[in-house]
Amino acid sequence: MRASDNDHGLLTVMSKTGTNLIYAGASASGNGFWFEGFNKTGEGVVPLGADDYGNGVVGAYNRKGKGRTLKPGP
């Protein structure tokens, strides 16, 4: 999941300096919603959305793109 995958009903909130803070909207894949939070330098660090099966997916990444994705499961 990346913000670039999202192009339907996108809401963008920016800081007073013009840096993206969040994206929110419907996922382009049609699986549900999309939300992504950005750090102060504009890198996406927290994506939230729905996977191909409609389950929630949460990710947490550092500014170098390393991190984890949490998906529901047994």
Place of tokens 């840096």: 19
Q: Are 26 and 33 in contact (CB under 8 A)?
A: yes
Q: Is residue 70 part of a domain?
A: no
Q: Are 28 and 7 in contact (CB under 8 A)?
A: yes
The pair of structure tokens assigned to 22 is: 């969040």
Q: Is residue 71 part of a domain?
A: no
Specify the pLDDT at position 22: 92
pLDDT digit string (tens) for the chain, length 74 residues: 444 444 556 788 998 998 889 999 887 778 888 899 998 888 888 989 888 888 888 988 887 778 888 777 66
Please give the tally of structural domains in the chain. 1
Q: Are 27 and 50 in contact (CB under 8 A)?
A: yes
Specify the pLDDT at position 6: 44
Domain that holds residue 40: 3-60
